[in-house]
Structure 1
Amino acid sequence: MEQLLSLLYGASGIAASALYIPQILRYHRDPASRASISLLSWSGWILIAAITIAYALCVVGNVLIAAVAGLNIVAQLTVLAYGLTARCSSARAAARTT
């Protein structure tokens, strides 16, 4: 049973990371949608995932959990980068108009 749950955990983690792709593609295709990204929320989720990695490696010694959290961080950082670039772009545009 433990092996099955480990397999399901790994598969669900990969699936969860893959589910970021449609949203990331939307941000890639529609720069206006990037302005609605909450930098605080995404930064918080990245921090929580980083704590999960530290816990998985240092306390539990489980590389699978750390790897799944790492995949999520990659996707979350991508979304955060789109949000940051949107903020920087709008700040530059505002500076040009004043």
Structure 2
Amino acid sequence: MPSSITMSGVAGSVRWGYRTVADLRDWTLAHEAGARILTATVVRHDAFGVSQRPLTFTAPYDGGAWTWRVETLQMEGASLTAVLGPRG
């Protein structure tokens, strides 16, 4: 089993329930030592929406989407960093 796994994508989103509260591009998800760290560029966001909980990160792929629960989220300018929980 590898000690670290990295995924990346062109588009993704942060959702609060069914609402998209941030559109993301150029995201990277690194899974190291049990922690899942998401970094991305924010294209558009709703300041109120991203302050709500629970949030999820959704990464589309052909035929569906992967979804993770957002544990913590920080935005600075157009940069987003989040710690993700389990998928689902």
TM range (shorter): under 0.3
Q: Given the two structures, how large is their TM-score scaled by the length of structure 1?
A: 0.21
Report the structure, 1 or 2, having the larger helix content. Answer: 1
Rg larger in structure: 1
Report the structure, 1 or 2, having the larger strand content. Answer: 2
Bigger relative CO (Cα 8 Å, ≥ 6 apart):
1
